[in-house]
Amino acid sequence: MINTLNIKQLIIWLLFISAQILLAQNLVLYDRAFCFIYAGAILLLPLNISRNYLMVIAFFTGFIIDIFYNSLGTHMAATTFLAFVRPLWINAITPRGGYENVDSPAIKDISLSWFLAYSLPLVFLHLSVIFFIEAGGFHMFFFVLLKVIASTLLTVLVLVIIQYLFYSKGRYS
């Protein structure tokens, strides 16, 4: 169970969480675009991970973020939902060659266009859950929707940049 691969995943997870709490939490553009890069900790987990395991990790991740955001439950619900949808969406957008020789859904393993198609809808769903729970309903629908769209674009952009900076081909394989 515990081997180098798991330890590597654990370190990446910790880095994402600390980056979220220490840096990305303060990154808000025009009071609209928020950066929730901790979603990357769930999005970039290996493909062969079991669904239940994935959801429990996501649940725990959301819990940690909630403690720091004073919003107990909100991020837990959103991240668990993200983890539930992730395998369904991965199956739905299988690239032409299938997922042979692919261990994680990252740009270096597949391609940039696939990663965008993979992450944009998932992050959109994830952030919709967060913002609509936080707003406490649909009474500010378009304002919240604007926040969700702006935040999705920012989050995915930062995730792509992170991958080009730190996930270079071969370094972690």
Partner 1 sequence: MRRLFQFIYQYRAFFVFLMLELISGWLVVNHNDYISASYFNSSSALAGNIYNSKQSVQDYFQLKEVNQNLAQENEKLRNTLALSAPIVDSTEFFTPIYLSGQYEFTIAKVVNNSVSRFRNYFTLNKGSKNGIKEGMGVVNPNGIVGKIKSVSENFSTGYSALNGNLLISAVIAETETLCTANWDGKDPTKMTLKYVPRHVKVETGMDVVTSGFNALFPADVKIGEIETVVIEENATFYDITLHLSVDFQSLDYVYVIGNQLQQEKDSLEQTTFELIND
For the chain, state the CA radius of gyration. 16
Given the complex with partner 1, which of 97 and 136 has the nearer CB atom?
A: 136
Our measurement of the distance from residue 160's CA atom to the centroid of its chain's CA atoms, rounded to an integer in Å, reads: 11
**Whole-number minimum distance, CB 66 to partner 1, in Å?**
7
Given the complex with partner 1, which of 9 and 25 has the nearer CB atom?
A: 25
**Residue among 45, 65, 118, 109 nearest 88 (CA):** 118
Distance CA 126, CA 85 (A): 10
- Which of these segments, 7-15, 49-57, 117-125, 161-169, binds partner 1 (CB under 8 A)? 49-57
Site for partner 1 in 81-120 (CB under 8 A): 81, 84
Considering only 11, 73, 112, 164, the residue that binds partner 1 (CB under 8 A) is 73
Distance CA 143, CA 141 (A): 6
**Whole-number minimum distance, CB 10 to partner 1, in Å?**
18
Under a CB-based contact definition with an 8 Å cutoff, are residues 24 and 35 in contact?
yes
Query: 34 pairs with which residues across the strands?
Result: 28
Query: Which residues, in sequence order, are CB contacts of 148 under 8 Å at separation 6+?
Result: 124, 127, 128, 131
Tell me the site size for partner 1, rule CB under 8 A.
35
Under a CB-based contact definition with an 8 Å cutoff, are residues 158 and 44 in contact?
no
**Whole-number minimum distance, CB 31 to partner 1, in Å?**
4
Binding to partner 1 by CB under 8 A, coded x per residue (else -) over 128-147, reads: ---x-xxxx---x--x----
Q: Which residues bind partner 1 (CB under 8 A)?
A: 21-22, 25, 28, 31-32, 34, 51-52, 55-56, 59, 62-63, 66-74, 76-77, 80-81, 84, 131, 133-136, 140, 143
